[in-house]
Structure 1
Amino acid sequence: MHDSRTDLDDTDLRLLAELQTDAHLTAEELGRRLHLSASQAGRRRQRLEASGYIRGYIARLDPERLGLDVQAFVQVQLASHGAEQGQSFARLLRVRPEVISAWTLTGEADYLLRVFCTDLRALHRLIHDVLLTHPTVARVQSQIVMDQTKPDAPFPV
């Protein structure tokens, strides 16, 4: 496997770290922090965007302010593992706004879902009326988040 990180120099890595902390940094501010001219910092950012190191920029919203008071991790075990069943379940996940991320796993669970719901009743409906009714789902186990001791952090670049 090709290690694409070798394409980056120390300045690129520092630039990526700075942008993960504040994506609104201007070329002038990036240049100041990286000891580059604004035009050099801007060109580096554009190169990293064009080459796919930077996929885009998003705002981090406060789920509680939005009324999303219940966060949970949901493990899903499928009854069968054919390509069609997996694709069908993946399609379901893509259209459910409560599911903000999903991973396929090794081990007992086939999927791990991170979900945000307005309340416990909404989580119950998601599990019982949506996930468990899918024909390929055999078992669902959920863990409700009590507190997040470490916020989502930047990637270690």
Structure 2
Amino acid sequence: MPQIDDRDQRILTLLQQDCRLSNAELAEAVGMSASALWRRVRSLEEAGIIERYGATVNPARMGLEFEAIVHVHLARHDREGTRAFISAVQGRGEVQECYATTGQSDYHLRVLCRDLEAFNRFLEEFLFRQPAVASAQTNVVLRTIKRNGPVTR
């Protein structure tokens, strides 16, 4: 894995802010030649530091007005039940993020839905039908303070 120096960090910060920057624009911004910058970005990609490029989409403008954090407790922690739960969650578009954590809950899901009715259907028709799920607690997101902050060292 390559050592991340200040120039690499600047490249990463700029790409996280706008991944559509051209190679020439990025090279100028960090004070490098275009060919040297291209090699450095390629090295960051090959090392897995840059995983992918993408667009940030505004959920509300897509009609997804309801957001919640769902804290899931599993009834049992056997390998097959856990795998089935993870696979089911990965296949659901409403689930934007899923984290296995320490603490009172086993998993934390960030869920986006059109409205409360759609969220209720997600719970009743999907989440509570998962055999490994014992219970879930929901925190409705009232306002987003920070999302998709840049990763820095």
**TM surpasses 0.5:** yes
| 2:131 paired with 1:135 | yes
Instruction: Write out per-residue CA displacement over residues 17-43 of structure 1, whole angstroms, 9 at most, x where no aligned residue.
Output: 111111111111111111111111111
Q: How many residues align?
A: 153
Cα distance in 1, alignment partners of residues 147 and 99 from structure 2: 19
Secondary structure at 2:111 match in 1? strand
**1:95-114 counterparts in 2 under 5 A?**
95-114=91-110
Q: Which amino acid aligns with 1:88?
A: A
Matches within 5 A, 1:5-154: 7-154=3-150
Letter in 1 for 2:131: P
The one-character-per-residue Cα deviations of 1:103-145 (angstroms, maximum 9, x if unpaired) are 0011111000001000101111111221112111111111111
Gaps of 5+ in 2: none
Question: Aligned partners of 1:146, 1:136: CA distance in 2, in Å?
Answer: 29
Indicate conservation of the 8 Å contact 2:9/2:152, yes or no: no
2:70/2:108 contact within 8 Å kept: yes
Q: Which runs of at least 4 in structure 1 moved beyond 6 Å after TM superposition?
A: none
Indicate the percent of aligned positions where both proteins have the same amino acid: 37
Secondary structure of 1:127's partner? helix
> Which runs of no fewer than 5 residues in structure 1 stay unpaired?
none
- Counterparts of 2:25 and 2:97, CA distance in 1: 32
RMSD over equivalenced CA pairs, Å = 1.2
1 CA distance for matches of 2:36 and 2:103?
47
Shift, 1:151, TM fit: 3.0
1:59-85: CA deviation from partner (whole Å, max 9, x where unpaired): 111101110010110010001011111
What is the alpha-carbon distance in structure 2 between the residues aligned to residue 55 and residue 36 of structure 1? Answer: 23
